[in-house]
Amino acid sequence: MVLEEISTNCRGCGHGGCGIIVKVEDGKIVGIKGDETHPISKGYICIKAYAAVEQLNHPSRLRHPLRRIGPKSSGKWEEITWNEAIDVVATKLKEIAEESGPESVVFMHGTGRDYFHFMNRFTNLFGSPNYVTNGHMCYIPRLALTKVLGLSSLPIVDYDASPKCVLVWGSNSVISNPDEYIGINLTLNLKKGAKMIVVDPRKTRLASSANIWLQIRPSTDLVLALGMIKYIIDRELYDKNFVEHYTIGLKDLKIHVSRYTPQLVEEITWIPRDKMEEAAEMYATTKPAAIHWGVGIEQNINCIGIDAALMYLVALTGNLDVPGGNVLFDSPPIVGYRDFGLPDKLPEEKKQKRIGGQEYKLLDSVGRCPPYAVWDAIIEGRPYKVRALYIAGSNPLVVRENTARVREALEKVEFMVVADMFKTPTAEYADIILPVASWLEYNTIGDYWKSHGYVFARKKIVDNSECWSDLKIFNELGKRLYPEYFWNDPDDALNYILSPAKVTWVEFAKLGYLRGRVEYRKYIKVGFNTKSGKFEFYPEKFKEWGLGPLPEYQENPETPLSASALAERYPYMLITGGRSIEYFNSEGRQLKTLRRSHPDPIVEINPATANKHGIKDGDWVIVENHRGSVKMKARLTEGIDPRVIHAEHGWWFPEIETPDHGYQISNINLLTDDRPPVDPLMGSTRLKSLLCNIRKA
Ligand SMILES: Nc1nc2c(c(=O)[nH]1)N[C@H]1C(S)=C(S)[C@@H](COP(=O)(O)OP(=O)(O)OC[C@H]3O[C@@H](n4cnc5c(=O)[nH]c(N)nc54)[C@H](O)[C@@H]3O)O[C@H]1N2
Ligand SMILES: Nc1nc2c(c(=O)[nH]1)N[C@H]1C(S)=C(S)[C@@H](COP(=O)(O)OP(=O)(O)OC[C@H]3O[C@@H](n4cnc5c(=O)[nH]c(N)nc54)[C@H](O)[C@@H]3O)O[C@H]1N2
Ligand SMILES: [Mo]
């Protein structure tokens, strides 16, 4: 019996990042605990880390590549070898590319997991410009904007340098630990006395402990931000030194915000004037202050407007790149994920063929397609026919907008590959399923895509030759088709990535992490990457695109104000997808530990509203609109406005053995929409701005 303790980086949730110590006995994991020495998670871990071993050993995990032998979603499969699987996939993709052009193959993944740089590399070499993620409405809008604004990276909260005020806008980070943030860092700063303002339609735990909670009408955040900018400019609460020396365009901005009077803000956002002013005053006068933003503000048609407005607030108050503010951290000196993806290998002529590329300029600038346009290409053959879909780590039948349309596309597509750990309802439509390794079964670089300036060693803890990592899958497909660009073994690629830092994978694994140089106020030396060299409150790109200093606020198309006839039948504003600690999007429903803690899909309703419909806490409720209906369990809470309903996303029932696995029972995306109007620059969809009605089931 040999007991070993290995420190590594958790990926119990798709984003990962927390430091853990894994106890291994005779090749088996016997325990996982938080690593108190870890620089970003400081010993904190969540229930998903504990459940990782259950996931690793789960009886329904896929163990062999499968080929479908019956009609789609008939549940009839045969096992094949890896050799055969790679052969079929490589041959078929190549054949389709030769016949119809590489653009007729679409590559898709979900949120940022730790392998997409390999997928990028393969896709660009393959020559397909058609790459679909959730980036049109999650996180990538922020990233794409940094280029427009000439910022060297995403301005994220510098929790280690103790902000005195944190403005949490559309994020519930103590639950979701999203992107670069682990919620514990916010909690620790609150304990040290930092003030907190929370903008959220729901009274989350964070909202309950905030100094100021702004209970906003869903998807009107841009108006609130414009109102705050106006208040700060009018009262001259902005950082005069920073604005005078390092910015241009304040005059244009001032004119732009002039019509966002407190009365108008109150009318549109439901936030009382004095509260808005109190928040603006607190944020502008407490130094340093930082804005922590989340996906709650990006899933509506004003996505780019609100993201830009928040960056302007940061600059206006002089909190950009200062200790305890929003900082532009440098990555360590390694081959970045963008360069690893070989974007220059994709010919310009192919880029011009990106589906939806002409419509959404910012989305196109980050090399992604709007999902709806890809479904159109599959179903209707416009602008040309898409024949194949390679999906690595996504369950679009459950997580993507407008489930009915997704299903139609999955039914129609000629050839489909799904790489996953479990047979999801989506995988049931595939021609080939590739069983992937758990994050505990391969070496990789954790937090590669994040903006906090760290990368972490995520180490192989247990062996499993039956399941391959996505790194290995793409490396093997790559070896067949483009051998000069791939490696004998994916671990060799890790050495390549780390080589500029002059460490090998083995050395990196011992170090645990690398961090980029930390330097504040870099703009003093190098300015901003704009034409003027300054931070521009009226970016050149916006001028070029015929916009004002900020995109104008648009009322979302499905609200009681903009769709009054529809609202007669569906009177409530529906917001979806607030995270729970147990589940990561559609993952985890098969794990008993998680399911025991969170057995059912939850819909949050104000008691006064519930009462009107005879609904009690714990009742099953039908949530419906003109697109579909689902069944969810009611949680009554005063923490939501009587006019608003919140429904969880990601629900399917792995315990249901028919090939649909119950994805049509409680999947809120049966009610969401993927079609325009969407954000005109980014294609962001309206997951936080819909209409619905409720009744007792
Ligand atoms: N446990 C867990 N962690 C996760 C995930 C998960 O599924 N589970 N998902 C991961 C992913 S993909 C992402 S993108 C991140 C998301 O992480 P965050 O960006 O922190 O998102 P949430 O935790 O859902 O918090 C969003 C908040 O926005 C609020 N909100 C809804 N509509 C509006 C609105 O119109 N305006 C404002 N101001 N707020 C609004 C919601 O009530 C909710 O409290 O989390 C990641 N981490
Ligand atoms: N209504 C509504 N819908 C939403 C949201 C919302 O707020 N409301 N949020 C949206 C957001 S922000 C996002 S980012 C998306 C998330 O969307 P996705 O990231 O597509 O989420 P999942 O459906 O959880 O798909 C992940 C799948 O990958 C598998 N998987 C896990 N690890 C690996 C791996 O290493 N390799 C491979 N190949 N597979 C793996 C899992 O088993 C699971 O089936 O959902 C979006 N959908
Ligand atoms: Mo996301």
User: Quick one: CA dihedral 555, 558, 559, 564, positive or negative?
Assistant: positive
Q: Are residues 294 and 171 in the same domain?
A: yes
Ligand lying nearest the CA atom of residue 394: 2
Query: Which residue out of 11, 13, 176 has the highest number of ligand 1 atoms within 8 Å of its CB and is therefore the one to mutate?
Result: 176
Q: Are residues 416 and 484 in the same domain?
A: yes
| Inter-axis angle of helices 273-285 and 221-234, nearest 10 | 60
Which ligand 2 atom minimizes the distance to the CA of 111?
19
* Res 338: pLDDT: 96
The best mutation among 137, 420, 574 to test binding of ligand 2, ranked by most ligand atoms within 8 Å of the C-beta, falls on: 420
364 and 508 part of one domain:
yes
Ligand 1, closest atom to CA 134?
Answer: 12
- C-alpha of residue 200 to centroid of ligand 1, in Å: 10
With a cut of 70, say whether residue 415 has pLDDT above it: yes
Distance 690 CA to ligand 2 centre (A): 21
Residue 263 has a CB neighbour count (10 Å cut-off) of 10
CB 443, CB 462: distance < 8 Å = no
Q: Identify the band that residue 311 occupies on the pLDDT scale cut at 50, 70 and 90.
A: very high
Average pLDDT over residues 247-259: 98
Rounded CA gap, 273 and 56, in Å? 52
Ligand 1 atom at minimal distance to the Cα of residue 580: 1
Find where tokens 């750990």 sit.
421
Query: Is 58 in contact with 594 (CB distance < 8 Å)?
Result: no
Same domain, 510 and 527: no
Joined together, the tokens standing for residue 128 give 């397909």
Ligand nearest to the CA of 588: 2
Say how far apart CA 498 and CA 508 lie, in whole Å. Answer: 8
Band of residue 465 on the pLDDT scale cut at 50, 70, 90:
confident
DSSP SS3 for 131: strand
Mean pLDDT, range 363-373, rounded to an integer: 98
Please give the distance, rounded to the nearest whole angstrom, from the Cα atom of residue 338 to the centre of ligand 3. 19
Give residue 589's identity as a one-letter amino acid code: R
Condensed to tens digits (0 to 9), the pLDDT of residues 594-652 reads: 999 999 999 999 999 999 999 999 999 999 999 999 999 999 999 999 999 999 999 99
* Tokens coding 231: 């208040």
pLDDT at 1: 66
User: Would you list the DSSP string of 94-116?
Assistant: HHHHHHH-GGGEEEEE-S--TTH
Beta-strand relationship, 432-435 and 66-68: antiparallel
Contacts of 637 (CB under 8 A, 6+ apart): 202, 203, 604, 605, 606, 607
- Judge if 184 and 123 occupy the same domain: no
Same domain for 325 and 359, yes or no, is: no
Angle between the 140-148 and 303-316 helix axes, to the nearest 10 degrees? 60
Burial class of residue 323 (count of CB atoms within 10 Å of its CB; 0-12, 13-18, 19+): middle
Ligand 2 nearest-atom number relative to CA 400? 47
116-126 and 470-481 helices, crossing angle to 10°? 20
pLDDT value for 464: 87
In-domain check, residue 296: yes
Task: Please tell me whether residues 277 and 363 are part of one structural domain.
Answer: no
Q: How far is the CA of 112 from the centre of ligand 1 (A)?
A: 15
> Distance from the CA of 267 to the center of ligand 3, in angstroms?
30
Question: Is 580 in the same domain as 597?
Answer: yes
Q: Which ligand is closest to the CA of 291, given by its number?
A: 1
Q: What is the CATH number of the domain that holds 26?
A: 3.30.200.210
**Cα 133 to ligand 2 centroid, rounded to whole Å:** 10
What is the percent of the chain with per-residue pLDDT over 70, rounded to a whole number? 100
Whether residues 162 and 304 share a domain: the answer is yes
Q: Parallel, antiparallel, or unpaired for β 388-392 and 415-420?
A: parallel
Residue 632 sits in a domain of what CATH number? 2.40.40.20
Whole-number pLDDT of residue 120: 98
Task: With a cut of 80, say whether residue 399 has pLDDT above it.
Answer: yes
CATH code where residue 295 lies: 3.40.228.10
What is the number of the ligand closest to the CA of 580?
1
Query: Which token pair is 184?
Result: 């514990």
| Claim to verify: residue 288 and residue 167 sit in the same structural domain | yes
Is 553 contained in some domain?
no
* Mutate which of 471, 587, 653 for ligand 2 pocket (most atoms within 8 A of beta carbon): 587
Among 4, 22, 15, 5, smallest CA distance to 440 is for 22
Ligand at minimal distance from the CA of 15 is: 1
Q: What is the largest CA-CA distance in the chain?
A: 73
| pLDDT average, residue stretch 112-136 | 97
Q: Which residues line ligand 2 (CB under 6 A)?
A: 14, 110-111, 113, 134, 138, 295, 392-395, 398-399, 419-422, 424, 436, 470, 576-577, 585-587, 649, 668-669, 672, 687
Residue 213 forms part of a structural domain:
yes
What's the DSSP call for residue 332? P
Residue 258 lies in a domain: yes
Residue 61 lies in a domain: no
**Mean pLDDT computed over 423-428:** 98
Q: Is the pLDDT of residue 122 over 70?
A: yes
Q: Which ligand is nearest to the CA of 433?
A: 2
Q: What is the mean pLDDT of the chain?
A: 98
* 168, burial (CB in 10 Å: exposed 0-12, middle 13-18, buried 19+): buried
Concatenate the DSSP letters of all residues of 440-481 into one string: GGS-EEETTT-SSSEEEEE---S--SSSB-HHHHHHHHHHHH
pLDDT band, very low/low/confident/very high, at 2 (cuts 50, 70, 90): confident
- Read off the CATH number of the domain in which 419 is found: 3.40.50.740
Residue 668 has pLDDT above 80, yes or no: yes
Peptide bond preceding 288: is omega within 30 degrees of 0, i.e. cis? yes
pLDDT tens digit sequence for 90-110: 999 999 999 999 999 999 999
Do 487 and 526 have their domain in common? no
In a domain, 59, yes or no: no
State how beta strands 3-9 and 19-25 pair. Answer: antiparallel
DSSP-assigned states of every residue in 147-173: HHTT-SS--EE-GGG--SEEEEES--H
Distance CA 122, CA 474 (A): 7
> Which of 575, 577, 557 has the alpha carbon at shortest distance from 567?
557
Atom of ligand 1 nearest to the CA of 295: 19
For residue 581, the ligand 1 atom closest to its alpha carbon is: 1
When divided into structural domains, the chain yields a total of: 4
Q: Is the pLDDT of residue 184 over 90?
A: yes
Q: Which two tokens stand for residue 172?
A: 């519930």
Task: Check whether 318 has a pLDDT greater than 80.
Answer: yes
- Report d(CA 232, CA 598) in Å as an integer: 43
Angstrom distance (rounded) from CA 584 to CA 34: 19
Angle at alpha carbon of residue 678, lines to 641 and 123, rounded to 5°: 125
Average pLDDT over residues 648-676: 98
Rg (CA), the chain: 24
- Whether residue 606 is contained in a domain is answered as yes
What lines the ligand 1 site, CB under 6 Å? 13, 15, 111, 138-139, 169-173, 175-178, 199-202, 204, 216, 218-219, 221, 294-297, 575, 577-579, 581, 583-585, 688
Question: Whole-angstrom Cα distance, residue 491 to residue 512?
Answer: 16
Domain with 309, as residue range(s), is 149-330+522-544
**443 and 295 co-located in one domain:** no
Determine, yes or no, domain membership for 557. no
Span from the CA of 576 to the centroid of ligand 1 (angstroms): 9
Phi/psi for 100 (5° steps) reads -120, 5
